[in-house]
Structure 1
């Protein structure tokens, strides 16, 4: 991998080759692979930016355009560092670096393995004539090298993270739920568990394809994650089912929180070649201790009520939070 990084500038004519790895749990891109790198071109770029480029982090939550490029998996040709550096460096700083380096084209090339993004590589050029196929080939080799590197600590990095949606998985939810129920029981505090199911997801997948379906799940997960804060957490249970763990939350408050989340989700859509696909969900709420006193029983109660909500929605009844006795 080090050899690839060293040879990439000469092979492509780029004045800067800047690989960024995806950190799913925090939903950001990091240049950690470059920490300790020794390369004259990279050092010249850091001098131009007056910044340690290997230490920068790029939030995918705050930078939706960067998130879109990563999601679509297609090469993006830009005329400045603006999209990449938005919210990371002041505009005057990256503009000065661009002028110093003589950059007129920035190519952002996603690194993708089996439809799953690993990150992207930014190539900065002093020319407008870019051989996109050569960049894709080079990044393909780099991606394979990075995948082999990441496999060694995959269990540690992604053991509690769902690989499709980048939120917590069911295993992590059950561990957190067990801990929170013990705490809630000891101190006599409320706790609520909200479960959501994306309506007609199977039909959505059949209509728009699995890739767009995965984008929908990630969009729903991101929307939910942005709407809560620790110790609250979002997890993907399975398929199109999600859960929200709400410690210190009574049923009445959980109903209010759920209504707010539904309002956020009502504004979500996933774009495909056929246009925008709106998102609707079915919801259920189960509370400790009135509905159940163990993690397994509480989740089972919530899922049973969710099935009731789904049947009601299928019968064209107004959606409601099943299990709610606010």
Structure 2
């Protein structure tokens, strides 16, 4: 349904109003006539309503229709038509100048045409209003476009259908570092960059294009990287009359992408590198992607020894310096300041002149170094790039990049060192576990010494390692490995309290490291050991007491970090415990095979060693004899005096027997008052002579009991190994039988048949 056009009729003549109503009643499109008869009523109604048109009489009872016209240059949203009588045309013209849209004479013969006239006026008003609004929008749009064009942070240009640049904003001129006027008239279709020529051609064919163009020679060097958006300018009929391009400087964005990619690759490299050399070389290759870094090095600072090492060094002018004392070079300057430092040739020479740094090697044209810091902010090294090319200069961007790279390298190196330390600790733990296992597999002291030296060789490559055990004021070398010590007495038997090194280790119960003995004033040279250049001594301790020393010597000055020394100390603790266990075992073994009262072998000891001597005699066909003896009337002696006196007699007899035997003869208390003597390289006649000598010695001994001297004698049974014997026990049995016959016959000695 068509919305009726609303007309406010301001008229004080009711008859005239009725004629108008009739004229509009059947008109299509329909009209809605709102009638008021005074100016005041009209103004009240207009305060709340907006009609499509106001039709007012010029003369009203309470004023002039002129009061309904626009005031103070404020336009109305509806047209005002003034009605005048004949003869008032001049007045109507004045009213139009005052803001009336039109005037209509009051003619009674014109009522039929009036609806058509008002419809035309309303449509005309609407069209003119739309036109004005469109023009206003166009004007505003033009202003906005000009503001954007001139003030946009991006470069904007317009080229015509021939590819000739017709407009460019100031940002474009700054971006291209070219005067604005010099850009106008540039034929884009003829520029020397094929990518640009093809883009212009495609835009003029009606295509939209987005592309990136990288003019950088190298990352972070001169040149631009640009992102462009190109669109055709088309007429409503589709004809292309030119193109618009928006250019954005993405050099910093591209540089950041290159930097982040490089940092990511460095981090990735750290996870893949299996050795430090490969890691350093890979880092150098990556750094060259973002910096002029033909000359590149990494320095590590040993604060304990105040020295610098250069695990990676690439330099066109100077050879690798190796391990050097901490001095006053540019590297040391960065390390002590803890900040990134950029030194071009003039600044470098000034620092040298004022004595802040020393002149080292070939002076660079440009040098840039940054400290390497761990996660606690402690400086542990530096990374540096330098150039001998006068065309290369580092600036603020390179300083920022270097700091990023240094932070990433520091993180990578710290992680790499931590991983190396973890692997080293794991290897150490495995070695210690294996050492513990190896030590526990044997309780024989000689084997324990050998295993200590072998296991230690897996932990550190020494030139000589010796184990010395303390006995009073002496420290005796009981085992060694590697290059042999000289056979001299001072090399194997040490007055340890007179040696500063061993005395320090003993008093502190802590390791002593001498990296270079030439720098140790109290180093005491031993003949035959002049080749020693470095020394590491470790205490062997049991329950806090030092029982000996583990001494490692090296032909070259040797460096150990504290973690390695701690690891070797842990090994020494295991070694000390292993030695103590073996010694305790040896003591237990000795106790198990020795008679507690007399200190000579017991029956177990006899069984252990007699079989060995018997086997040797059989193997080499040598004579072997045995004396089986007991003390005459020993039971009556015990009954008469006491068992305590009897024990004293047993001790005296054992001592006398030992004093009359050779070092390699085997003496054992077989049980009670019975003694067995096994004599290698001895025939039966020689054994009889020994028995006679023993009894002679006993008769010379005077044992006083309750104020009375008593004499002790022994009875002996003598037996010699026979070819028919299958075991030493047969020899023992014949000796026992001979002793029983001697007792029965009352003679001191009987030889077995």
TM-score, length-scaled by structure 2: 0.22
TM-score, length-scaled by structure 1: 0.50
* Structure number, greater radius of gyration: 2
